[in-house]
Amino acid sequence: MSSTSITVPEVVSGAQQKSEPSIERSITLHFVGDWGQANFHRICSWLTQAFCDRAGPRSRVGIWSIRSGGIEALYQLHDGEVDLCIATPAGLMATARTGTGIFAAHGPMPGLRALAVLPQRDRLMLAVHPKFGVKTWDDIRRVKPPLRLATSIDDGTNFIGYVAMRLLKAHGIDEETLKSWGGSLVLNHRPEHALFALEAGEADAVLQEAIMTPWWREAMEKQKMVPIPAEAEALNTLSGQPGFEPASIRGGFWDGVNEETPAVEFSDFVVFVRDDMPDDVAHLLTWCLVETRADIERQYAHIPPERSPLSYPLVPSNMAKTPVPLHPGAKRYYEEAGHL
Chain segment 294-338, per-residue pLDDT in tens: 999 999 999 999 999 999 999 999 999 999 999 999 999 999 999
Which ranges in 262-305 belong to alpha helices (H)?
279-291, 293-297
Structural domain includes residue 13: no
Q: Which of 265, 295, 320 is the last residue of a domain?
A: 265
Per-residue confidence (pLDDT) for residue 240, from 0 to 100: 86
Whether residue 3 is contained in a domain is answered as no
Check whether residue 180 and residue 56 sit in a common domain: no
Domain housing 184: 123-265
pLDDT, residue 19, reads: 82
- What pLDDT does 6 receive? 39
Pseudo-torsion of CA 31, 154, 117, 308, nearest 10°? Answer: 100
Look at strands 123-128 and 226-228 and give their pairing. Answer: antiparallel
**Domain shared by 135 and 229, yes or no:** yes
Residue 20 covered by a domain: no
Mean pLDDT of the residues in the chain:
95
**8 in a structural domain:** no
* Cα dihedral 290→31→86→193 (10° resolution): 130
pLDDT confidence of residue 3: 37
Instruction: Give a yes or no: residue 113 inside a domain.
Output: yes
Q: What pLDDT score does 2 carry?
A: 36
Q: Kindly state whether residues 256 and 280 are assigned to the same domain.
A: no
Q: How far is residue 123's CA from residue 94's CA, in Å, rounded to a whole number?
A: 18
d(CA 77, CA 258): 43
Does a structural domain hold residue 5? no
In a domain, 206, yes or no: yes
Model confidence, pTM: 0.93
CATH of the domain at 134: 3.40.190.10
Kindly report, residue by residue over 85-136, the tens digit of the pLDDT: 999 999 999 999 999 999 999 999 999 999 999 999 999 999 999 999 999 9
| DSSP label of 35 | S
Q: Which residues of the chain have pLDDT under 50?
A: 1-18
Residue 1 lies in a domain: no
- Tally the domains of the chain: 2
